[in-house]
Amino acid sequence: MKASREKNRRLFGDLAATAVVAILFCVLLLTVVFSAFSYRRAVAVQERNDDIRAVLSYVVTAVKSDEAAAVSVTEKEGIPVLMIDDGETGYARQIYAKDGKICEVYAKKNASLTAGESIMIGSSALFEIDAVNEELLVIRTGLGSSYVRIRQGFTEGGGV
């Protein structure tokens, strides 16, 4: 009977050790899986933020361009359009938001916005351009805003 009790204790000890190892393995596996999902989500958010910042930087750089003769905000087809006029050819760089996409087209100033000719710069739920005064614009996207001093001068509703 003593041998049987000793054998049962050893068997219980072996089972307990196996259960502890199995539980530790499951916890480790769940930690790795949870970490992988968390990392993937964090990377997706970071990429989205980078895209939105790139859009804002692109628009600011376009406004500050030395090639721009005049900058204006006008409305075409019910959409606010940032017009960056080159001053010589009658053409303008036109930046606008449509369906959550920020687009750019280089076309005649009085031409309509054609989606087939536009290049998508990026996407943002928000894209607004407001004139603070004749020398200062504020450009807002989904991630933030930037104030831009205009060297060329700003005309409200100009260009069309």
The chain-wide mean pLDDT, for the chain, equals 83
pLDDT at residue 159 greater than cutoff 70? no
Of 152, 160, 159, 123, nearest in space to 62 by CA: 152
What's the pLDDT tens digit per position in 122-135?
A: 888 888 888 888 78
In contact, 99 and 91? CB cutoff 8 Å:
no
What's the pLDDT tens digit per position in 66-124?
A: 666 788 888 888 888 998 887 778 888 899 998 888 999 988 888 888 756 888 888 88
Q: What is residue 117's predicted lDDT score, i.e. its pLDDT?
A: 83
- Burial pattern 100-117, b for ≥16 Cβ within 10 A else e, equals ebbbbbebebeeebeeee
The confidence band for 38, taking pLDDT boundaries of 50, 70 and 90, is: very high
Looking at per-residue pLDDT, the higher value among 21 and 149 belongs to: 21
